[in-house]
C-alpha cells in the first residue's frame, strides 16, 4: 500500500529532487478509506498532493504523501441553460477544460492551459484571464479523515477567496477532495472577454469568439509567456498579485512611482500586477544558483536545470525584498512551501525586567558573558514557509535588528502584559500594505484596542501600524493552512495561552496547567517553558516546578526561558540542568502520560539568539 523513501520529483513541476518517507496512490474512496486506517496514516503528518504545480518541497517530507488517481468526467443536463459536469480529483485540469469545450460547455475556457489536477482547483481557487474556479464550482465532494465518510460542500461552504479556500485553513489535512461538480452553460459562444488580451479578440477575428477560439487564444498566450514544465521546471505564477487598499495605493505606491497600474476591486481595494512590479524593480532575468526569474514572464521562477530548493527560496526572497524596497509592497508566494521542519529563534529569554536589570549591580547583571544578557521573552517560529512571531516584547526593535528579521506573517499573543505586547508599534514595517494578522484571546484584543487605540481608528494617521485581530480560544486554528494548537495555562489566576506548532510548544508565564490541557503537550520534540528562579513566585514556575513539568511531559528537548537574574549564570545553570537530565532519565518509569520514555531528555537554559532546528 505504501512505498517508502519515494522519489517525488516526477510529482512536481519544479523538478527539484525530494523524497517522501511514505507515499500512496489511491483510485477510489474505498482505497482511501483503507489507507486512512493504517498506522502510517494515523501516526504521521499527511500531505495530499495533486499535479504538484503549486508546490516547492524545501526538503524531504518526513511523513505520508497521498495522491489521488480518481478519474472520470460525467455530464448531467439540468435544462437548456445549465449542465453539471462532475470530474474526479485525479483528472488533469487541462483534460477537463478540453473535454468541456469539446462538449460545447462554456465557462472554463479562460482557465485553459493551467497545469495541475482537478482536485487542486477548489483548494487553490485557480484563476486566470478574469475567471476563477469558484465562478463555476457547484459543489466539492470530500473524504473526511475524521469520520471516514464522504461529505459535500457547496460553493459557499468552500469560502473561496483570492487563491484561497477553506481547504487551506481549517479543512486542510481533514478534507481530501475526491470529486468536483461544475455548473456550466451549454453554449459554444464565449462571454468572459473583459480581461487583458481577450478584449480585442472579437475585433481581431471579426465575430464573437467561440469557447474553442478563446481556449486556443489563451493557450497561445500562455505558451508564449510561460515555460513548458516538461522542459523547464517551474510552478507557474510564483507570486500572488497584491491586493491593497486604494488609500495605500494612492497615498504611498503612486507617490513612489505614478505609473504603477492597478485594477479596481470592491470595498476600497485594488489589485496590482506582481509581474509589473517585479519587472520594474529590475528583477526580470535575475538568477541565484540554478533559479531564475523567467525573462519572458517575471511572475515565474524557473529551475534552469540544477536549482536547489534553497536557490528558489532565496531568489523569491530577493525579488520580494526588492519590490518592497522600491514600491512599499510585499509580495506573497502563490506557491506552497512544503517544509515540515521547524526553525525556532529565541529573540528574548528574560523576565519582565530583562537581564541585566536597570540599576542592579549583582554578579549576573554585571556578567560579560553574552548568554547572560536577556531581552524580554519572545520567539520567532519558521515553518511551512511562514514566519510567526510569538509575542512582541518592548525589546522587539532591537531583537529584529540583531536577528535581521525581514518578515513577519502573523503575530501570536500569549497575553496582554506589557513585557509581551509592548513592541506592537515596532511591527509597523510588517503592517503594510495589508494589516498584520494577530491571533489572541478576546480579552487580550479588547485590552490592545484600548492601549493602542491609535492603531484601530477608522481613519488612522498615515503610517500607523495596522492589525487584523483574530479572536481565538482553546480550539486549534489555522494560518495559511498551518495548524496551531493553543495551550491554556494559568499565569497565577490569569488564564493565558501557550502554543503548539507541530512538534514544538512554547509556554511562558505559567504557574500551572490544567489537566485537560496537559494532554496537548504529549510527544513533543521541543518544549520551551518559563522558569523564573528558585524562589517561589505566585504567577511563574520556579526552576524546580518547570523541571517537574518537563519530567511529566518528557519532550525530547526542553529549554527554560523567562529567566531573571536570580536564576544565576547561564554556564552554571547549564551544568545544573545537565545533572537534572541524568536524574530524570533514571526515574522515568513513573510517567502518567502514554509516551515513550526510553530516551534521555536534554534540558538547557535558552539564551537570546539561540536557534533550534526540529
The residue behind cell 486542510 is 172
Q: With H, G, I as helix, E, B as strand and everything else as coil, classify residue 306.
A: coil
CA distances from 143 to 30, 153, 167 (A): 10, 11, 12
Q: Which residues contact 164 (CB under 8 A, 6 or more apart)?
A: 125
How far is 341 from 361, CA to CA, in rounded Å? 42
> Which residue in the list 117, 141, 213, 334 is annotated as catalytic?
334
- Known catalytic membership, residue 163: yes
Identify the bridge partners of residue 420 per DSSP, sorted by sequence position: none
The residue behind cell 464565449 is 190
Helix, strand, coil proportions of the chain in percent (round to 5)?
A: 30, 30, 40
Burial of 295 (0-12, 13-18, 19+ CB in 10 A): exposed
Cell of 427: 511591527
> Which residue in the list 36, 237, 245, 393 is annotated as catalytic?
237
- Known catalytic membership, residue 334: yes
CB 239 within 8 A of CB 272: no
- Known catalytic membership, residue 571: no
Q: What is the DSSP string of 111-165?
A: GTT--SBTTHHHHHT-EETTEEGGGTEEEEEEEETTTTEEEEEETTTTT-BTTB-
DSSP 8-state symbol, 253 = I
Handedness of CA 256, 257, 262, 268 (dihedral sign): positive
SS3 assignment for 190-240:
CCCCCCHHHCCHHHHHCCCCEHHHHHHHHHHHHHHHCCCCCCCEEEEECEC
- Chain centroid to CA 424: 21
CB 31 within 8 A of CB 13: no
Cell of 375: 531581552
The residue behind cell 526542553 is 558
Q: Where are the beta strands (DSSP E) in 253-290?
A: 262-264, 269-272, 287-288
How far is 158 from 162, CA to CA, in rounded Å? 12
List the one residue out of 1, 152, 151 whose CA is nearest residue 66.
Answer: 1
**C-beta pairs of 36-42 under 8 Å, 24+ apart in sequence:** 36/143, 36/145, 36/148, 37/148, 38/1, 38/2, 40/2, 40/64
Neighbours of 381 (CB within 10 A): 23
CB 214 within 8 A of CB 198: yes
CB 278 within 8 A of CB 242: no
Q: With H, G, I as helix, E, B as strand and everything else as coil, classify residue 104.
A: coil
Q: Can you count the helices (H) and strands (E) in the chain?
A: 16, 35
Neighbours of 281 (CB within 10 A): 22
How far is 142 from 217, CA to CA, in rounded Å? 34
> Which residue in the list 21, 141, 163, 234 is annotated as catalytic?
163
Q: What are phi and psi of 526, to 5 degrees?
A: -140, 135
Active site residues: 163, 237, 334
Amino acid at each position: 500500500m505504501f512505498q517508502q523513501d519515494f522519489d517525488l520529483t516526477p510529482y512536481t513541476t519544479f523538478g527539484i529532487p525530494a523524497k517522501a518517507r511514505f507515499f500512496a496512490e489511491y483510485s477510489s474512496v474505498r482505497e482511501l478509506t483503507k489507507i486512512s486506517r493504517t498506522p502510517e496514516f494515523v501516526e504521521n503528518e499527511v500531505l495530499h498532493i495533486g499535479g504538484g504545480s503549486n508546490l516547492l518541497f524545501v526538503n524531504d517530507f518526513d511523513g505520508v504523501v497521498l495522491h489521488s488517481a480518481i478519474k472520470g468526467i460525467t455530464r448531467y443536463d439540468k435544462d437548456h441553460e445549465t449542465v453539471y459536469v462532475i470530474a474526479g480529483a485525479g483528472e488533469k485540469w487541462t483534460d477537463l477544460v478540453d473535454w468541456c469545450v469539446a462538449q460545447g460547455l462554456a465557462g472554463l475556457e479562460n482557465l485553459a492551459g493551467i497545469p495541475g489536477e482537478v482536485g487542486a482547483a477548489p483548494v487553490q481557487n485557480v484563476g486566470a484571464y478574469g475567471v476563477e474556479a469558484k465562478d463555476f464550482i457547484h459543489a466539492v465532494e470530500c473524504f473526511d479523515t475524521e469520520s471516514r465518510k464522504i461529505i459535500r460542500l457547496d460553493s459557499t461552504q468552500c469560502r473561496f477567496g483570492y487563491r484561497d479556500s477553506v481547504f487551506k485553513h481549517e479543512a486542510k489535512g481533514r478534507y481530501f477532495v475526491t470529486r468536483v461538480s461544475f455548473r456550466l452553460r451549454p453554449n459554444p459562444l464565449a462571454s468572459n472577454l473583459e480581461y487583458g488580451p481577450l478584449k480585442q479578440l472579437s475585433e481581431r477575428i471579426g465575430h464573437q469568439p467561440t469557447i474553442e477560439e478563446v481556449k486556443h487564444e489563451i493557450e497561445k498566450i500562455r505558451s508564449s509567456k510561460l515555460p513548458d514544465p516538461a522542459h523547464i521546471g517551474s510552478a507557474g505564477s510564483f507570486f500572488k498579485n497584491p491586493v491593497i487598499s486604494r488609500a495605500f495605493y494612492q497615498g504611498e505606491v503612486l507617490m513612489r512611482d505614478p505609473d504603477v497600474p492597478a485594477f479596481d476591486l470592491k470595498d476600497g481595494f485594488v489589485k496590482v500586477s506582481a509581474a509589473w512590479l517585479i519587472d520594474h524593480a529590475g528583477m526580470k532575468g535575475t538568477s541565484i544558483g540554478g533559479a531564475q526569474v523567467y525573462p519572458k514572464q517575471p511572475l515565474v521562477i524557473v529551475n534552469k536545470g540544477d536549482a536547489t530548493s534553497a536557490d528558489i527560496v532565496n531568489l523569491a526572497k530577493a525579488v520580494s525584498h526588492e519590490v518592497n524596497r522600491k514600491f512599499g509592497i510585499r509580495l506573497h508566494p502563490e506557491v506552497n512551501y512544503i517544509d515540515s521542519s521547524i526553525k525556532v529563534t529565541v529573540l528574548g529569554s528574560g523576565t519582565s525586567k530583562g537581564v541585566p536589570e536597570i540599576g542592579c549591580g549583582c554578579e549576573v547583571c554585571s556578567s560579560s558573558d553574552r548568554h547572560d544578557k536577556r531581552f524580554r521573552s519572545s520567539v520567532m517560529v519558521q515553518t511551512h514557509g511562514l514566519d510567526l512571531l510569538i509575542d512582541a516584547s518592548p525589546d522587539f526593535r532591537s531583537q529584529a535588528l540583531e536577528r535581521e528579521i525581514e518578515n513577519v506573517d502573523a503575530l501570536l499573543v500569549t497575553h496582554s502584559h506589557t513585557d509581551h505586547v509592548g513592541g506592537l508599534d515596532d511591527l509597523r514595517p510588517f503592517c503594510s500594505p495589508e494589516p498584520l494578522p494577530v491571533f489572541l484571546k478576546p480579552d487580550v484584543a479588547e485590552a490592545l484596542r484600548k492601549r493602542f487605540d491609535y492603531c484601530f481608528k477608522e481613519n488612522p494617521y498615515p503610517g500607523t501600524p495596522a492589525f487584523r485581530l483574530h479572536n481565538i480560544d482553546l480550539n486549534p486554528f489555522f494560518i495559511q493552512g498551518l495548524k496551531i494548537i493553543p495551550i491554556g495555562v494559568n499565569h497565577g489566576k490569569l488564564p493565558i495561552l501557550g502554543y503548539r506548532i507541530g512538534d514544538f510548544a512554547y509556554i511562558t508565564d505559567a504557574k500551572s496547567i490544567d489537566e485537560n490541557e496537559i494532554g496537548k503537550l504529549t510527544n513533543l520534540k521541543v518544549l520551551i517553558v518559563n522558569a523564573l528562579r528558585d524562589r517561589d513566585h505566585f504567577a511563574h514556575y520556579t526552576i524546580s516546578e518547570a523541571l517537574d513539568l518537563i519530567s511529566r511531559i518528557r519532550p525530547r528537548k526542553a529549554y527554560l526561558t523567562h529567566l531573571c537574574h536570580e536564576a544565576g549564570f547561564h554556564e552554571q545553570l547549564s551544568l545544573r540542568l545537565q545533572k537534572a537530565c541524568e536524574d530524570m532519565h533514571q526515574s522515568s518509569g513513573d510517567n502518567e502520560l502514554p509516551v515513550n520514555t526510553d530516551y534521555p531528555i536534554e534540558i538547557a537554559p535558552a539564551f537570546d539568539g539561540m536557534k533550534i532546528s526540529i
